[in-house]
Homo-oligomer: A and B are copies of this chain.
Amino acid sequence: MGTRTGTGTGETTGRQQPRLPLSRERVLRAAVDLADRDGLEAVTMRRLAQDLGVEAMSLYHHVANKGAILDGLIEVVLEEIAEAADRAEAPPAGQDWQAALRARILAARQVLLRHRWAPRLLEERAALNPRLIGYFEGLLGILRAGGFSWDLAHHALHALGSRAIGFAQELFTPDDRDAAYDEATEMIAQMAERLPNLTGMLAEVMHNDPDSTLGWCDDQFEFEFGLDLLLDGLERRRAAGGPVRPRRS
C-alpha cells in the first residue's frame, strides 16, 4: 500500500551504514511502529523483515517465533502504562482515592490511544502477565488506602475492568477459566510479598466462599454489579436535572 523502498537498511534511512545488527529490541521497536501505522494484522514476519531491510528468516535468530513478538509488544505497552501511571501526578493515595485512581486510569488510557492494537492483544494473551498483575495490584492498593473492604475492592476492580486497562467485558476470558484462575492464584501466591493487596483480597474472597477454590469470580454477579453502578449513577444525574456540561471540552 504505502511507498516502499524494498532495499536498504530500512528504518535507518541514512546513507549506507555498516548495517547495524538486528536485535530483539530493534525487532520489537519495528513491530510497534508497524502496528501503530497499519494495525496488528499488518505485523507479519515478512513485512516486519522488509521494514528492517532483512529477510523474514533472520528474525528467528532474535525471537523464538511470532508469538514471542506479540508477547514483546505486550511487554512494551505494559511498560509504557506503568511508567505513565507512575508519572501521573495525584494525591498521596491515602487522601483522595478517587483522584488517585482517576489519574492512573486516564494515564493508561493515553498510552492505549497511541497503540490502538493493544487492548485486543492484552485481552487475548496478557491475562497472567506479571506487569499487568502489578498494575492491578497498584489500583487495589489505592482502593484499600481509600477505605475499601477487600470484598468491595474486588468488585470495584471488576466494575472498572474495561476502563482500567481498555479491554472488554469480563476482564479475563481465557479458554480454560479454571486453569487460568489456578495459574493466577499460584502466581500471586509466589509473589505474595510483592503483591500484598492481591494476596489479601484473594484470601478474603476465598474465605467467604470456600466452595469455589477454583474460579473465584462470579462473572454474572460482577457484570450486574458494574451495570447497577452505572444505572444508579445515571438515575441520580437524571433526577438532579440540568445539562451534563456547559460546553464541549
Number of copies: 2
- The stretch from A10-18, A74-82, A102-110, A188-196 touching chain B is A102-110
Q: List residues of A (140-184) whose CB comes within 8 Å of B's CBs.
A: 146-149, 151-152, 155-156, 159-160, 162-163, 166-169, 173
Interface residue total, chain A, C-beta cutoff 8 A: 56
Kindly state the separation between the CA atoms of A226 and B163 in the bound complex, as whole angstroms: 9
A234 interfacial contact with B, CB 8 Å: yes
A2 interfacial contact with B, CB 8 Å: no
| A146 proximity list for chain B (CB < 8 A) | 238
| A220 proximity list for chain B (CB < 8 A) | 249
Contact check, A159 vs B230: say whether CB atoms are below 8 A apart.
Answer: yes
A243 interfacial contact with B, CB 8 Å: yes
- Contact among B148, B160, B163, B238 for A238, CB-based, below 8 A: B148
- Contact among B151, B167, B169, B211 for A244, CB-based, below 8 A: B151
Contact check, A235 vs B167: say whether CB atoms are below 8 A apart.
Answer: no
User: Who on chain B is nearest to A219 by CB?
Assistant: B113
Given contacts A166-B168, A229-B229, A231-B101, contact A155 B244 (CB under 8 A): yes
Given contacts A120-B120, A221-B249, A244-B151, contact A230 B227 (CB under 8 A): no
- Contact among B167, B169, B234, B249 for A229, CB-based, below 8 A: B234
| A211 proximity list for chain B (CB < 8 A) | 248
A223 interfacial contact with B, CB 8 Å: yes
Contact check, B168 vs A119: say whether CB atoms are below 8 A apart.
Answer: yes
Kindly state the separation between the CA atoms of A199 and B90 in the bound complex, as whole angstroms: 41
| A224 proximity list for chain B (CB < 8 A) | 106
B-contact 0/1 string along A225-249, CB 8 Å cutoff? 1111111111111100001110011
Q: List residues of A (34-52) whose CB comes within 8 Å of B's CBs.
A: none
Given contacts A212-B248, A248-B209, contact A230 B233 (CB under 8 A): yes
Query: 23 interchain pairs (CB within 8 A)?
Result: A120-B120, A148-B234, A149-B243, A152-B234, A152-B237, A152-B244, A156-B234, A159-B230, A160-B227, A163-B226, A163-B227, A166-B169, A167-B168, A208-B248, A209-B248, A211-B248, A212-B248, A218-B249, A220-B249, A221-B249, A229-B230, A232-B236, A233-B233
